[in-house]
Amino acid sequence: MAMLKALVVDDASFVRDLVKRTIRQRFPVFETTDAQNGRRAQSLMSRNRFDLILCDWEMPEMSGIELLQWMRAQPQYASVPFIMITSRGDKDHVVEAVKGGVSEYLGKPFSPEGLSNKIIKVMGSQLRDAMARGGKSMESPVDALRESADLLTRKRESPPEEELPLASPAPDSGSSLLTQAASAAADKATARKPSPSVASVRFAESTLKSVVRDINLTEVRVIAKRDQSFPGILDQAVVDIDVGDGQMARLNGYVHQLQAVDKRQDTDFVSVTIRFVDEDPTKLEDLSRFIARFRAGR
């Protein structure tokens, strides 16, 4: 039986579902409610009492920082824990959140363990007591469904060097051209002068340096060198793209596909497709501007 109430606020339903699923699996004493933006969250908070708020920063209608500032001005929410979950990790935003009264700051993409640790930290004895009364353990409960999902999405280790063929068959002409193009693009990515096709893809435990090969409003396909740390299918991702005028778009998504660039087992490049999940009109506008620049430069 639920003893505590948590409100999850994010414009992306995919992210809301991830947060709620983690809370249900790790802390079953919580009842979770969600809202797609700060304005909707404000309405729910005015009519209900929540013990924990987990909120995105960038959202339409009312941002996370605006919700935080409003919340701290309400006597019933002056001391309720507020965790800001956002792709904005720069110092200025962290300082602004701290000044607004944030309890903890969690960067996207996040791992279930990282989110759980933040919740434990801000809830303290209130959560421990509720779990104890419910006969639950605080030792990271993981159900069979999650274990099955982990088996399906677990990252595969790269084969040892001795298992790679000593001689590789020559790639076909199409693959060879694509490899050459990817190599040239990767060289551009390491150049000091920024290129509009360079993208940094962040995951919970690594960052992938890559170049954009194709992009539309629903997904982006990037090419990256194989010697980096790669994610698993369905892992969360944040794609950082320079949209011009000194502005950086931080687009939330998940890994939809991983594929070798050519047919050789020892290929140097991997193609990664990220499906976007953001529903913020401002982010979609930034993405549209980048797509126009990208296609004009091809």
13 neighbors 35 (Cβ within 8 angstroms):
no
pLDDT score of 1? 56
Q: From CA 251, how far away is CA 262, in angstroms rounded?
A: 28
The whole-chain average pLDDT of the chain stands at 81
Indicate if the pLDDT at residue 90 is higher than 80.
no
What is the reported pLDDT for 167? 33
Question: Taking the mean position of all CA atoms in its chain, how far away is CA 23?
Answer: 17
CA atoms lying within 13 Å on the CB side of residue 227: 3
**Would you state the pLDDT for residue 139?**
59
CA-to-CA distance for 1 and 131, rounded, in angstroms? 10
Residue 283 CB coordination number (10 Å): 21
State yes or no: pLDDT of 39 exceeds 90: yes
Three-state secondary-structure class, residue 269: strand
For the chain, domains (ranges, CATH) are 4-152 (3.40.50.2300), 170-296 (2.40.10.220)
Q: Taking 50 as the threshold, does the pLDDT of residue 80 lie above it?
A: yes
Greater pLDDT, 197 or 27: 27
Q: What is the mean pLDDT of residues 56-63?
A: 92
User: Is the pTM above the cut of 0.75?
Assistant: no
pLDDT at 141: 43
Query: Nearest 5°: phi and psi at 230?
Result: -105, 155
d(CA 239, CA 215): 12
Q: How far is CA 254 from CA 154, 210, 212, 237, in A?
A: 15, 16, 16, 5
**pLDDT tens digits, residue range 148-197?**
344 344 443 433 333 333 333 333 434 344 344 444 444 444 444 444 47
What mean pLDDT is predicted for residues 223-250? 88
Q: CA 183 to CA 214: how far, in whole Å?
A: 16
Least confident of 85-89, 125-129, 177-181: 177-181
| The pLDDT of residue 189 | 41
| Sign for the pseudo-dihedral over CA of 129, 133, 135, 141 | negative
Residue 247 above 90 pLDDT?
no
Q: Quote helix, strand, coil % in the chain, to nearest 5.
A: 40, 25, 35
Q: What's the token pair of residue 121? A: 């930290």
Sole residue written with tokens 């759980």: 116
- Res 296: pLDDT: 84
Share of the chain above pLDDT 70, in %: 80
